[in-house]
Amino acid sequence: MIDDEAPIRKLLEITLQSNGYNVLQAATAKEGTITAASHPPDMILLDIGLPDASGHDVLPKLRQWYTNPIIILSVQHGEEDIIRALDNGANDYLVKPFRTGELLARIRSAIRTSTLEETEPVIDAGALQIDLQNRIVKVNAETVKLTATEYTLLALFARNEGKVLTHQYLLREVWGPGYINQSQYLRVFIAQLRKKIEADANRPQYITTESGVGYRFVAT
Amino acid sequence: MATGSIHTSKLNQYGLSALLVVGVSVGCYFISDLVGYRVVAFILLLCVSLLAILFDILPVLFAAALSALVWDFFFIPPHFTLQVSTTEDAILLLMYFVIALINAVLTHKIRRAEKLARDKEEREHMVKLYNTLLNSLSHELRTPIAAIIGATDNLNSNNSNLTPQNRFELVTEISKAGFRLNQQVDNLLNMSRLESGFIQPKNDWCDINELVYEVVQRIEENNSTRRIGININPDLPFFKLDKGLLEQVVYNLVNNAVQYTPAKSNINISAVCHADVLSITVEDNGPGFPHAEIDQVFDKFYRLKNTRTGGTGLGLSIVKGFTEAMKGNVNLENSATGGARFTIGIPAETNYLKNLKNE
């Protein structure tokens, strides 16, 4: 945990320890990078506003060698900050103030995704089942007909469960680099996909919106 | 350019001054045989005085000098020379010039005094606004802080009379206070964004259904007891606009309805598209707004006269500011049943789902 604010560190320490995690603390970017290198943790919680360097600069340096999840905790809630951090390799981004329940869920999800087998054949998300090997999607045990693009999109989400995928990333991966400014395609297909897999497309449980940033697939 | 003068550029003012002096002189040339050249001086003086009311001091001084020359050259005998033949005419010419000057300078002074008075009034108004802000802010920020400090003191006191239920309630109060503080800070940050004048909408395709449902979900998470209904056609097109700004606008409107209607009131949100204008209506069946105050509701820091305490008067002015930043407008009226009905209209490019192939 790299954060210069002592009250936040205290809060996180209690929250994390009481949920069975061991916590190493650092108050500066320098201290954090050294601690991470000498005792590589399973996950790093990184603040953006550090006294000696911006978390935006620390992140790419950590990513040169560190492959486990990094979650950003920041008071900066601008879309640019979030997208920049995600593009630089952050697995997730939480804006302070956050609910501790939300933080714990994101931590669990990031760890689960990072330890996921590469070729997980079937993703079981309650009423929704995605068979990646046979390209079959079922809702309430009934096969749902998806178009090729819809399926590609859903499979991409399923392989990155719990992770925010930015608009640009999704457009590039599903439609190709020429489409990164055609966000209306994404809106349309997300809306269609939701109608097919969500119980209530207006209150989506699986594909949730990260306003101005992207979408997240939530399996639980 | 001094305020109060008509909005023409400096160069235009010189041009117009010259034009008027020359035009009037030409007119006078034809009647000077009839009325005599001394009356012409008065007519020209009248022109300069008129210019002094409208224009800045320098173009007026220019007009004064030009008209004096014109009068001397064309009207004072001998004609078409700058010579003045009689002492009387020399004194008249001198007086003409001095009176024209005094005219120009006096109007200039009056205008400056007016501007000072206006500035002073504006400053006093700002001070008053500032004080209102400080009062409502200190109330809005201190109340939740007091709740947090009080509740934590209580929890820390090792008071054995505290039941688990009491403890739970105290913790809930702390949580609510934190939420409230966060909301006020958001409002202040948004207001300072508006004040800085640097809001540049970042337009992207936006699903209004999705946006409205998200806002309502956020508000319902905060234990609202109001019944919020959403009435939007699922086939409403996508609009190209700034989702962040619109989200804040809708949030503030719905939150305002939640704050100022009695418990269990109905709030209804609808959205329609008409000629590439997105129109969102937030309507409640609460008491509505007093007619006399409807126009002031969107003013910064404005609070209704008989309102409960709490609130900073920022929420609705942010609604207006953000909507206008998106080149839209916001309107408030009381519905037939007496509740408040806010309508925002935002012009935006649209895109219908059916226009895109589902490949």
pLDDT digits (tens, 9 = 90+) for B134-179: 777 777 788 889 889 989 988 988 777 888 898 998 998 898 889 8
B146 and B101 in one domain? no
Strand partners, A137: A130
Q: CA-to-CA distance for B221 and A203, rounded, in angstroms?
A: 13
B106 and B29 in one domain? yes
Percentage, residues of chain B above pLDDT 90 = 26
pLDDT value for B4: 44
Q: What is the DSSP string of B213-279?
A: HHHHHHHHHTT--SEEEEEE-TTPPEEEE-HHHHHHHHHHHHHHHHHTS-TT-EEEEEEEEETTEEE
Sign of the CA dihedral B51, B54, B58, B59? negative
Q: CA-to-CA distance for B266 and B227, rounded, in angstroms?
A: 5
Is residue B107 in some structural domain?
yes
B142 and B278 in one domain? no
**Range in A39-43, A119-123, B188-192 with the lowest mean pLDDT:** A119-123
Contact A66, A85 (CB under 8 A): no
Is residue B3 in some structural domain?
no
Contacts of B238 in chain A (CB under 8 A): 184, 187-188
Rg (CA), chain B: 33
Put simply, the answer to whether B213 touches A202 (Cβ < 8 Å) is yes
The answer for residues whose C-beta is within 8 angstroms of residue B117's C-beta and 6 or more apart is: none
Is residue B125 in some structural domain?
no
Q: Which one of B193, B213, B246 makes the best mutation probe of the A interface by having the most chain A beta carbons within 10 Å?
A: B213
Taking each continuous run of H as one helix and of E as one strand, the counts in chain A are: 8, 10
For chain B, say whether A202 makes contact (Cβ under 8 Å).
Answer: yes
B210 and B189 in one domain? no
* DSSP 3-state of B340: strand
Sign of the CA dihedral A25, A28, A32, A35? negative
- How distant is the Cα of A48 from the closest Cα of chain B, in angstroms? 19
Put simply, the answer to whether B204 touches A149 (Cβ < 8 Å) is no
Q: CA-to-CA distance for B59 and B17, rounded, in angstroms?
A: 7
User: pLDDT-based confidence at A120, cuts 50/70/90?
Assistant: low
B160 and B24 in one domain? no
pLDDT, one tens digit per residue, over B35-60 is 888 888 888 888 888 888 888 888 88
pLDDT value for B356: 61
- Structure token digits, residue A134: 């046979």
Is residue B4 in some structural domain?
no
Average pLDDT over residues B193-212: 88
Residues of B with CB under 8 A from a CB of A: 178, 182, 202, 204-207, 209-210, 213-214, 217, 230, 238, 243-244, 247, 351, 353, 356, 358-359
Please report where in the chains the tokens 């000498």 appear, as a residue: A38
Is residue B1 in some structural domain?
no
**Mean residue pLDDT across chain B:** 85
Contact B249, B319 (CB under 8 A): yes
Amino acid occupying residue B27:
G
Which of B210, B351, B359 lies at the smallest CB-CB distance from A184?
B351
Q: Which residue of chain B comes nearest to A77, CA vs CA?
A: B186
Q: Which residue of chain B comes nearest to A194, CA vs CA?
A: B210
Contacts of B178 in chain A (CB under 8 A): 97
B58 and B148 in one domain? no
- How distant is the Cα of B155 from the closest Cα of chain A, in angstroms? 17
Contacts of A167 in chain B (CB under 8 A): 204
Is residue B124 in some structural domain?
no
Contacts of B213 in chain A (CB under 8 A): 202-203
For chain B, say whether A184 makes contact (Cβ under 8 Å).
Answer: yes
* CATH class for the domain made up of A122-217: mainly alpha
pLDDT value for B1: 40
Which of B210, B243, B356 lies at the smallest CB-CB distance from A212?
B243
**CATH number for the domain harbouring residue B150:** 1.10.287
- Of the residues B141, B162, B196, the one at which a domain ends: B196
pLDDT value for B297: 84
DSSP state of A110: H
Which of B178, B209, B358 lies at the smallest CB-CB distance from A192?
B358
Contact B17, B51 (CB under 8 A): yes
A170, with CB counted inside 10 A (0-12, 13-18, 19+), is buried
Contact A52, A29 (CB under 8 A): yes
Asked whether the predicted pLDDT for residue A155 surpasses 60, the reply is yes
- Structure token digits, residue A69: 């999840």
Q: CA-to-CA distance for B168 and B174, rounded, in angstroms?
A: 10
For chain B, say whether A208 makes contact (Cβ under 8 Å).
Answer: no
Q: CA-to-CA distance for B249 and B317, rounded, in angstroms?
A: 10
User: pLDDT-based confidence at B2, cuts 50/70/90?
Assistant: very low
For chain B, say whether A13 makes contact (Cβ under 8 Å).
Answer: no
**CATH number for the domain harbouring residue B323:** 3.30.565.10
B60 and B192 in one domain? no
Amino acid occupying residue A190:
I
Contact A154, A197 (CB under 8 A): yes
- Of the residues B99, B119, B139, the one at which a domain ends: B119
B176 and B305 in one domain? no
A174 closest CA partner among A195, A162, A159, A194: A159
Average pLDDT over residues A99-118: 82
Domain spans of chain A, in order of start: 6-115, 122-217
pLDDT, one tens digit per residue, over A19-39 is 999 999 999 999 999 999 999
Q: How many folded domains does chain B comprise?
A: 3
What is the enclosing helix (H) or strand (E) of B99?
helix B87-156
Which of A79, A149, A209 lies at the smallest CB-CB distance from B214?
A209
Q: Which residue of chain A comes nearest to B355, CA vs CA?
A: A188
Asked whether the predicted pLDDT for residue B353 surpasses 90, the reply is no
Q: CA-to-CA distance for A144 and A130, rounded, in angstroms?
A: 10
CATH superfamily of A6-115: Response regulator (3.40.50.2300)
B229 and B349 in one domain? yes
Contacts of A212 in chain B (CB under 8 A): 243-244
- Structure token digits, residue B228: 């919020």
Amino acid occupying residue B171:
V
pLDDT value for A19: 92
Range of the domain at B226: 204-355
B311 closest CA partner among B245, B260, B242: B260
**Range in A40-49, A63-72, B104-113 with the lowest mean pLDDT:** B104-113
Average pLDDT over residues A129-138: 90
Better-predicted residue by pLDDT, A188 or B131: A188
- Of the residues B119, B145, B178, the one at which a domain ends: B119
What is the enclosing helix (H) or strand (E) of B176?
helix B164-196
Contact A74, A86 (CB under 8 A): no
Taking a contact as any Cβ pair under 8 Å apart, which residues of chain A between 78 and 117 contact chain B? 79, 97
- Structure token digits, residue A161: 């469960």
The answer for residues whose C-beta is within 8 angstroms of residue B319's C-beta and 6 or more apart is: B249, B252, B253, B256, B298, B330, B342, B344
Contacts of A209 in chain B (CB under 8 A): 210, 214
For chain B, say whether A148 makes contact (Cβ under 8 Å).
Answer: yes
B307 and B219 in one domain? yes
For chain B, say whether A181 makes contact (Cβ under 8 Å).
Answer: no
The answer for residues whose C-beta is within 8 angstroms of residue B302's C-beta and 6 or more apart is: B296, B313, B316, B317
Contacts of B353 in chain A (CB under 8 A): 188, 191-192
B142 and B247 in one domain? no
Angle at which helices B243-259 and B315-325 pack, to 10 degrees?
150
List phi, psi (to 5°) of A3: -155, 135
* DSSP 3-state of A57: helix
Please report where in the chains the tokens 């399926």 appear, as a residue: A151
Is residue B5 in some structural domain?
no
Put simply, the answer to whether B356 touches A184 (Cβ < 8 Å) is yes
Q: Which one of B172, B188, B231, B356 makes the best mutation probe of the A interface by having the most chain A beta carbons within 10 Å?
A: B356
pLDDT value for B252: 93
For chain B, say whether A7 makes contact (Cβ under 8 Å).
Answer: no
For chain B, say whether A187 makes contact (Cβ under 8 Å).
Answer: yes
DSSP state of A70: E
Please report where in the chains the tokens 């030009």 appear, as a residue: B66
Contacts of B190 in chain A (CB under 8 A): none
- Helix%, strand%, coil% for chain B, nearest 5: 60, 15, 25
- How distant is the Cα of B209 from the closest Cα of chain A, in angstroms? 7
Is residue B56 in some structural domain?
yes
User: pLDDT-based confidence at A43, cuts 50/70/90?
Assistant: very high
B236 and B185 in one domain? no
Angle subtended at Cα B121 by Cα B118 and Cα B122, rounded to the nearest 5 degrees:
85
